[in-house]
Amino acid sequence: MLFLMAAGLTLVFGIMNLVNLAHGSLYMVGAYLATAAVTRTGSFLAAVVFALLGTLAIGMLMEVLALRTLYERDHLDQVLATFGLILFFNEAVAIVWGRAALFTAVPSALSGHIQVLPGIRYPAYRAVIIVVGLLVALLLYVVVTRTRLGMLIRAGASNRTMVGALGVNIRLLYTVVFGFGAALAALGGLMAGPIYTVLPGMGEEILIQVFVVIVIGGIGSIRGALAGAVVVGMVDTLGRAFLRPMLSTIIGPSAADNAGPALASMLIYILMAAVLYFRPQGLFPALRG
């Protein structure tokens, strides 16, 4: 899941050099739209479609209205402006749906468990998320490296003015790329709905983690996003599972109860610090032209 978000964000940043804090907001909007659709129609499929299209539309609108002028500006301006967007979306969502958390159920078709290995059962829904993530990774890889569109994207990343001079409509290209990113965020959001709570501000929770993923993996590279997401996910899960038992053997169970979860959540940040210290460009930095 982290991968989906990370890929979208890194695309937008790597290609268009735009820091978009509001990416998390798109995730949130996706989740809300999906939830709303499910409660209205009872069909998960409809929810998927609605959420994707709706978020895409909102994302495009965002791009056209607010973000266009930001491409030229420095990162600070982008950070601030998109921060403003976050405030707006968080509040807008609260106005429409209230501040209480919304719950969606996992679609019944996917709510069981599947046998991954003999004896090990894994929640089907989460397995689906992983599969979707991998499919998207594959899709992105194919698009970016094999298609004309992908080539244009990569060229635009290296040299925007040149590509523009060659007659390609850069603005449209950017809007399309941004749309891609928004769709990925929406996908992440709508799938996240059933497992995480849907709240105003949920975008920011995951956004930080996504940043960590991107930094660890290397900014601007999809491969990095994948690697980073995997690494972070593993460290996080293993950390939570094993840290407390490990600690309790050293400092006693009650202290471990206290410090364990704290350290576990800090683990990925410590990891990030370590990566930054030893290899500031990340694990798989994108080669810029």
Partner 1 sequence: MRSRARVLTLLAGLLALGLVPLVAALTQQPFYLDLFRRIMIFAIAAVSLDLILGFGGMVSFGHAAYLGIGAYAVAIPAFYGIHSGLVQWPLAMVLSGLAALAIGAVSLRTSGVSFIMITLAFAQMLYYLGISINAWGADDGMRLARRSQFGGVLDLTNGYVFYYVVFGLLLTLLWLGNRLVHARFGVVIRAARSNEPRMRAIGFSTFRYKLAAFGIAGAIGGLAGALLTNQTEYLTPSYMHWTRSGEIMVMVILGGIGTLYGPVLGAVAFLLLEDVLSAWTVHWQVVLGPLLVLVVLYARRGLWGLLPEARRADG
| Position 237 contacts partner 1 (CB under 8 A) | no
| Position 287 contacts partner 1 (CB under 8 A) | no
Token pair of 134 as six digits: 């991998």
- Which residue type, as a one-letter code, is found at position 101? A
Asked if 203 and 34 touch (Cβ cutoff 8 Å), the reply is no
| Position 91 contacts partner 1 (CB under 8 A) | yes
Bridge partner residues of 102 (DSSP): 198
Options 53-61, 111-119, 163-171, 214-222: segment touching partner 1 (CB under 8 A): 214-222
Packing angle of the helix pair 23-41, 44-62 (nearest 10 deg) = 150
| Position 204 contacts partner 1 (CB under 8 A) | yes
Token pair of 36 as six digits: 């709303």
Could you say which DSSP state residue 194 is in?
Answer: T
Bridge partner residues of 198 (DSSP): 102
Question: Tokens 């501000």 identify what position?
Answer: 201
Asked if 132 and 191 touch (Cβ cutoff 8 Å), the reply is yes
| Position 66 contacts partner 1 (CB under 8 A) | yes
According to DSSP, the β-strands at 113-117 and 120-123 are: antiparallel
Nearest distance from C-beta of residue 265 to partner 1, angstroms: 4
Options 139-147, 178-186, 240-248, 261-269: segment touching partner 1 (CB under 8 A): 261-269
Nearer to partner 1, 76 or 172 (CB): 76
| Position 284 contacts partner 1 (CB under 8 A) | no
Nearest distance from C-beta of residue 197 to partner 1, angstroms: 15
Nearest distance from C-beta of residue 214 to partner 1, angstroms: 7
Residues with Cβ < 8 Å from 235, sequence gap 6 or more? Answer: 267, 268, 271
Options 87-95, 124-132, 232-240, 244-252: segment touching partner 1 (CB under 8 A): 87-95
Among 7, 15, 85, 247, binds partner 1 (CB under 8 A): 85
Nearest distance from C-beta of residue 33 to partner 1, angstroms: 18
| Position 251 contacts partner 1 (CB under 8 A) | no
Nearest Cα neighbor of 230 from 106, 120, 137 is: 137
Alpha-carbon span 176 to 204, nearest angstrom: 24
Binding site for partner 1 (CB under 8 A): 13, 19, 66, 69-70, 75-77, 79-81, 83-92, 94-95, 204, 208, 211-212, 214-215, 219, 258-259, 261-262, 265-266, 269-270, 272-273, 276-277, 280
